[in-house]
């Protein structure tokens, strides 16, 4: 069963790593992360309506990145 990892590193912030059951859940977690920090990081500028534009605006900052990746785990048979 695949899991989706969300790794976030925002300049000046604490790095975060979380595991989600689906890509959509990881993406939603990323959007919540952005929503919670928008004012502190960007200032009084209103967030774009488009989700992808919000992500692009926040992670254009130097030394900031995010990664959503699928991890497939296979356990050996006993």
The structure's pTM equals 0.84
pLDDT (tens digit per residue) in 5-61: 889 998 878 899 999 988 899 999 999 999 998 998 888 999 999 999 999 998 888
Distance CA 5, CA 68 (A): 6
More reliable by pLDDT, 11 or 67 = 67
Residue 26's pLDDT is what?
Answer: 92
Closest to 25 (Cα-Cα) out of 33, 37, 14: 33
* Tokens representing residue 13 in the block: 């912030």
């Amino acid at each position: 069963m695949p899991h989706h990892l969300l790794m976030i590193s925002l300049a000046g912030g604490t790095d975060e790593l979380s595991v989600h059951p689906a890509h959509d859940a990881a993406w939603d977690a990323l959007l919540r992360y952005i929503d919670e920090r928008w004012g502190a990081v960007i200032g009084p500028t209103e967030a774009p309506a488009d989700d992808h534009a919000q992500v692009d605006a926040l992670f254009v900052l130097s030394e900031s990145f995010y990664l959503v990746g699928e991890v497939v785990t296979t356990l050996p048979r006993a």
